[in-house]
Each structure stands twice: as C-alpha cells, then as structure tokens.
Structure 1
C-alpha cells in the first residue's frame, strides 16, 4: 500500500509549494498563511483538488468560467470543512506560536492519529532578505521583524519532529543582517536536532523546466543521524521558450475597460505548455485582462521593445529616453527601469513587484505595448491555467511573484518522497 506522507506548509502564500507536493501525493496537516487573499486562493485550489479526486470538476469549471460565485462553489461540496479546515489564517508571532502548534497537533491527532508530520515546507516572506527590499529601505531592512521569522519555522520543526524539511528563500538571505542570518539558521537547526549543509545551495528554477531564470536558496534538512543527503536534481528534459506560453492567448490592449472574464484560447497548444501541464482544463483562461497604461508609458514600452529586438538583446536605459518621456529626477541610478521579457528564450525572474507596476515585465509584442497579464505571469511561474487566484489584481500578482513555481516544487517533492520511502 502506498504510504501517504503528511506535510506542513508554513508561510504558504498562494500555494506554489503546496501544489507541487500535492502532485507527488503528499497530504497536508495545515497550510499557515496570514494574508487573506492568498488564504482564499489556497481554499479555492484545495477545492479544485477535492473535486478532481472525486472526478467531478464541472462544478469548479462553472466557478472558473464565472457561471457561479464563490459561495455557490463551496455550497456544492457536501462537507466544505474537509477542504478548508487545513488552512490556518493567522500570523505566526511570539504570541500565536504556541497556540497554533497546539491547534494543529489537535487536528492532526483527530485526522491521522498522530501529532508529528513527515516534512515541513515553506519559507518566510523574503522582503527583509531581498536586495531590492533592502535597497528601498533606509536601514537596509535591518530593523524589520521579518528578519527573524525563520526562528518560528525552527520552533515548528521542534514541535512536529519531521524527518525532513524544505526551506526556500531568496539569495539575499546569505547577506542579510550583515551576513548573520544564515549562520544563525545553521546553528539553530543543529540545536533543534537537524542537519543542513553549511553552505546554502542556490538552485535555478529552469533546472525543473520552468521558463524563467529564477535562482533561489533551497535549504533541505534532515534529522541528525539519518542516512539522508542533499538530493541531486537533474536537468529537466522540458524545452521551450516564452513565446510558447504567450502565442495561444488572446492579444490584449492596455485599456481601462478590460475585465477579468473567461477568454477562449486563440492558438494551438505548444508542446511545452502541454508537457509542462500548463494549458489544461476548460478551453480558455481567466486573469488575462491587461492593466491600464498611459500613452507615455506605452511609448516607452515600444521603444524598449524596438531596442531589445533590433539591438540583439540590448536593454533600454532610462537616461536614453527623450526628455519629454523622462519624469524621474534620478537619472544616474536604476537605469534599467524598463525590461522586456525575452520571448525567444527564458524570462528573467518574475517578482511580486509586478503588483506595483509592469515596467520590468513588458510583453515582447510591440503591437500590444503593455505589461504582462496575471495569467501570463502565472504561466511563466508554471502555474496551470486552471489555477484561480483570489483577490484584486495587485494581490494576484503578489501571490504569483512570491510563489515557488509548481514545476520546481513538484521536482523537489518527487525527490523528497523517494528519500522518505
């Protein structure tokens, strides 16, 4: 009989890691996420998996296509609590830590007859560690309390005693807080009875077939004395380019009237989109409305696209723009404010900054002259088309930019499952 391994997802976000581990057959004790919109996205996705398991996705399809509302979606499930009970909508802090642990242990025992889990996954919010975040903060985020959320993660390791854990974060964690964060993680893991490599491993999501140059720290730890070692991740055989994820979607213009409605595909499915399990489901997509851009920005986008196309990959510099298109006083720093997505290869890393503006993620089609839609960003992150993100557009962009790409998560989960077997 195939064993069901139990995972606990901390700082779950919109569910990128969860999606990958579900694909590899893991059950979940809990998904802890304080953000309201991300937690709702998790609920909706778990509803999808529940209905899929019960071989009835027609009800979910009705919601995805806008035929029923969210309340009607959950009314169509006999016991909605089966889907939603594992989602813990709460901040993890000094006051809540013990209460959360006790509550999750109680639910674990009632459901599985045990109070431990096989694996803990997740990564604290990365704003305090990212170079971009530190660059925007006068104190370099040194006083940001999020610097120390990893300590709660380690407290949960001590409480739930998993065989292994996966901790994901940005590369900047190695230099954050004057290079003191990672050594403290290493020491505290050791004190908690877990081994991690003394040097952090940097892994590119492209290794798992994601069409994105996205490097992240992936810390994998295991109980001291166990026979485990850091897994070797082989290069995926998936091959493609960004245009493979853009060409079958309806062309969009940056106008104020765009709505988030269901839109049918307009082209054939690429081999990559099929193999990566991205294009699936219901014959079209949601979240493909373009955000509005004023004409000045659209003219800058067109100039950036022309330079990228005719300059063989040369980026437009802000100080190269005509005076009438320059509105920022600072013309010496941050000259790469406008960045075209490379349609003929992999994209640069999709970031949560997409929620603020689209200047760093310009669609490569000059006729559209706009930034990426939510669905296009989700595809670059390897989220399948049937993945529905809750909340306003800015919240959707944030969830996607902060997520671990599901393809990457699935590859990691597959290795972990083999090691635990």
Structure 2
C-alpha cells in the first residue's frame, strides 16, 4: 500500500529546511567524526552518532557534544535500533529527527553471501546467518527506512565496487531507489579536494526524489598525477563496471570527476607539517624524553616561531570551532630505538626493500668498525646475532614492500590506514634530521583534522581513529555539493513520489 505517513514526514522536513533550519545529520559507523566534521563545516548540525569503538565514540562525543556524556557512549548498531537511539539521547521520534544520514558500514560480509543481491539479503530475516557482519549493511538500510532522511551519504573502500563478485554500491542503490531515492556513486581521491593525502574511496549519495532528479559529486579543487599503484587499484575496482550488462550508461555509476589543469597542485606533506614542532627522535631518546611505554597526551608542546605558515597550516590552526590551542596536543611519536639512524639514511620514497638494504649496509659498516678496533664478533655467534638484530629489521624484505615508506616532502602522503594503530612505518617523516615516523598530530594534519580536534585515549587508539576516518575536507566538499543540490531542489515545487510498501 502507499505509505502516506512517509510522504507526510518527507514534506515536513522539506518545509523545515525551506524555513531556513540547518540540516540535521546522523553519523552511523561514525568513528571519531571525519564525516561529521566535514558536514558541520558545510553548514549542518551534527545531531547524533552511532559508533561501536569506545575511544572513537568518546572522541566524537567530546568534539560535537561536549556538554552531554550520553553522546560519547559507544553503541552497537545491531542492538541499537533507531527508536532506542533517539530515546536514549532525548531526541524524539526517529522519523522526525534527522535530515541526512552519513556513514560507512563495512562490506566484508558480502564475499560469502553467494550470488544473492543485497536487495534479497536486506529483505531476508535470516540473512545474518550467512555472516553476522552482513547485519551491518542491513542495519544501515533499516536506519534509512526508519528515519526517512532527505539524503544519504555512504563511504567505503574502492573494493565496495568489486567485492567477491558483487558491486555492493550498485546493489545498495537498487535498495534505496525502491525507497524513493535518486542514487549515484563514484570514486573520489582526497588529494583532489585539498587533503595532503592520496586516499581513494567510493562514495554513494542518495537524495529523495521529491527534491532531486539526479545526483552530483563535487568538482575537484586541486590537481595531481596519481602514482601507478592508485591507477591499478582503481582498475580492479571498476572491473565489474566494464564487464557487466547491468551497468550501462543509465546506471547509478558516475564517472570520476576530472581535475582542471589550471587548478592548484595538491597540498604537499611539507605544506601540511612544516609549521609543527620538530621532534628529533634520536636526541629525544638519548636525553631520556622518549621511552618505551604508552604515549599519552599529557605534555602539550608550544608551536615554533616560523617565518610563515602555509595556507593549509593556517586552515588547520583556524578551523572555526576547532581553533588551535595555545600548546599543541598529541604531538607524540613511537619509541623505535633500532630504526632512528636507519630512517635518517633513507631517501624520499624508499620502501621496505630499500630500508632493508640500507640496514644491511649499516650492519656491515658496524662490523668493519669493530674489526678495526679488534672487537668484531664471530659470524653466527650470539654477539653477532644481537648486533644484527639491533640494526637490521627482522621482516622478510621480499614480502610486503609497502610496509615501510619514507614520505616525499613535495607530494601528498600515501593513504593513511587504521594499521597506524599498530605501527607507523608506512609514514616515515620526510625530514631526515628528525628521523622518525609521524606523530599523532601529524597524522591528523595529513587527514585534514584541525589542530583543535581532540582524540581520546592514548597514541595507538588515536592513530587507529585517524586512519579509519574520512578526511574532513573531502567530507566538507561532499557536504557543500549535497546541500547545494538540496537547496536547489527546495526552491522548486515538491515532486510527487509514491513509495509502495510491501
């Protein structure tokens, strides 16, 4: 039957926005709040979030609702239906509370679902028996059904377009189109939107058909020639588009936005980090200021006196609502005593094979020095093995070449991953005099989190939160474009859309 209640709810939300109210955002799988921060900067109100990880939930709460501890509580979406969320937070009825839903549910489960469509999975009450993680997408869609937002934004890895033989983005679009949404998806690279990081992700946008007849993605603000590895990843992600009869010119796919040659070049790692305090790891260790143990955020550092701060650095210091504190928080690094001298000798762009080769050379040099002094240990002896272990990393240099990488000052950083929470070798500082991996605050800068944004917990949880986040500047670009589409639609007569409930 026709869902007249849904029609009325959508019309009420349209009327509210026409009266000048801010769009209200619910962030699902929110993490510490990258999407939230971007949409807030675009002009939205962050009303609520659902996040399972306790430290990330605490970060989101302290940044967006510091006055109310209820918003900092971790919540499992599989046990927190929309009516429970809004009741717990005192927000009223779910269908009346949110105008936009954003988030990025994981897609791992659908490699095992077989050949069934997401539409069939979502409608099947026992679908979670295939894989409990399948419930995460189902719960996301259930939130959309229950909350009737005017727009939906979903983010995920490029593999979302080719996961176990499924184009998950296309299947989600089918589900949302049946709910009365105009849908589209594409790939966006953060470096094209002012983020000093070459991070490519899939984005899906859906807008109520009452106010839109198409979906648009933001035009790039910067240009860059992406390395070959990114082009290869993109080709794999797009393979199903090329080989599928169901993905023709009238489908949900949108071509990846092109950057104009006249745009400014992408923000570099040096532009992002050069105004932050230097940390010379080797001397810090020798002075006893850097020791083994959890890195806590209890020693804020003053900003250095510099001749000029880059435009990007100024943005990170002056972000409205998150202006830089007098002293910089969480500028802490890992204790890696074996590797500081090795970091200093690496060249920009070097990865683990080059690092391993350099370490072997350093070991040979040390053996030669000991030989000159008459103290060279016998090969294979305990002393020889201990000396080698103090210089040469133990990992197989023929595997995982990307495990280490020294950043290039004049290019954006490579993709930051959640694995930063375990080690930071993928992002060794470009400055050889500092000879270290990046700090938590530097990772935040590379992800476009402003200096006033607070990360809860110690170093490892903070790194993980940053690596998992959507870059706020990219989220802001998406939010601005989405709000423009919504506002353009609000200026026109409301289209008649009939959704028939089964």
> How has the CA–CA distance of structure 1 residues 119 and 329 changed in structure 2, closer, same or farther, with 3 Å as cutoff?
closer
The verdict on how the C-alpha distance between 1:278 and 1:168 changes in structure 2, with shifts beyond 3 A counting, is farther
Q: 1:2 — aligned with what?
A: 20
C-alpha distance 174-400 of structure 1, shift in aligned 2 (>3 A)? same
Deviates most, 5-14 or 266-275? 266-275
For 2:146, the equivalent position in structure 1 comes to 159
1:88 to 1:196, Cα distance in 2 relative to 1, 3 A: farther
Match among 325, 328, 336 for residue 293 of structure 1? 336
CA root-mean-square deviation? 2.9
Separation in structure 2 between the aligned mates of residue 331 and residue 367 of structure 1, nearest angstrom? 25
Aligned to 1:177, what secondary structure does the other structure show?
Answer: coil
Partner of residue 303, structure 2: 265
**Distance change >3 Å, CA 110–CA 31, structure 1 → 2:** closer
The 1:112/1:236 distance shift into structure 2, 3 A limit, reads farther
Name the counterpart of 2:357. Answer: 320
Tell me, what secondary structure is at the counterpart of 1:413?
helix
Gaps of 5+ in 1: 49-79, 131-142
Query: 1:137 aligns to what?
Result: none
TM-score by length of 2: 0.66
Confirm or deny that 1:102 pairs with 2:93: no
Counterpart-to-counterpart distance in 2, 1:193 and 1:339: 46
1:388–1:176 distance in 2 versus 1, CA, 3 Å? same
**2:276 alignment partner in structure 1:** 249
Give CA-to-partner distance per residue, 1:317-372, whole Å, 9 cap, x none. 25634544555463422123210122112111111111111111101111221110
SS in 1 for 2:165: helix
Residue 3 of structure 1: how far off its partner (Å): 1.8
Residues 1:418 and 1:31: Cα distance change in structure 2 (over 3 Å): same
Counterparts of 1:40-55 in structure 2, within 5 Å, are 40-47=58-65
1:50-65 equivalences under 5 Å are none
Higher gyration radius (CA): 2
Separation in structure 2 between the aligned mates of residue 164 and residue 6 of structure 1, nearest angstrom: 11
Residues 185-224 of structure 1 aligned to structure 2 (within 5 Å): 185-197=172-184, 200-224=185-209
Q: Secondary structure at the match of 1:176?
A: coil
Match of 1:363 in 2: 429
Deviation readout 1:373-399 (Å, 9 max, x if unpaired):
000000011111011100121110011
CA deviations 1:10-52 (Å, max 9, x no partner) are 011001111111122322332111111111111211256xxxx
Q: Give the equivalent residue in structure 1 for 2:29.
A: 11
Contact 1:31 1:88 in 2 (8 A): no
The question of whether the paired residues in 2 share the 8 Å contact of 1:128 and 1:144 is answered with yes
2:459 is equivalent to residue 420 of structure 1: no
Q: Which of 411, 415, 420 in structure 2 is aligned with 1:349? A: 415
**Are the structure 2 counterparts of residues 128 and 315 from structure 1 closer, same or farther at C-alpha, using a change threshold of 3 Å?**
farther
Measured at CA, do residues 388 and 188 of structure 1 come closer, stay the same or move farther in structure 2, by a change above 3 Å?
A: same
Cross-structure match for 1:173: 160
Matched pairs, number? 363
Using a 3 Å threshold, how does the CA distance of structure 1 residues 360 and 4 change in structure 2: closer, same or farther?
Answer: same
Residues 78-104 of structure 1: per-residue CA shift (max 9 Å, x gap): xx33xx4445621112xx25xx31124
Structure 2 equivalent of residue 77 of structure 1: none
Give distance in 2, aligned partners of 1:126 and 1:420.
Answer: 28
Work out whether 1:302 is the aligned partner of 2:339.
Answer: no
Whole-Å separation in 1 of the counterparts to 2:449 and 2:109: 25
Deviation of the 1:224 alpha carbon: 4.3
2-structure distance, mates of 1:87, 1:322: 45
TM-superposed CA distance for 1:226, in Å, is 4.5
| Aligned residue number for residue 281 of structure 1 | 324
Indicate conservation of the 8 Å contact 1:211/1:346, yes or no: yes
Given the superposition, is the C-alpha separation of residues 322 and 388 from structure 1 closer, same or farther in structure 2, using an over 3 Å criterion? Answer: closer
Q: 1:170 to 1:156 in 2, by over 3 A?
A: same
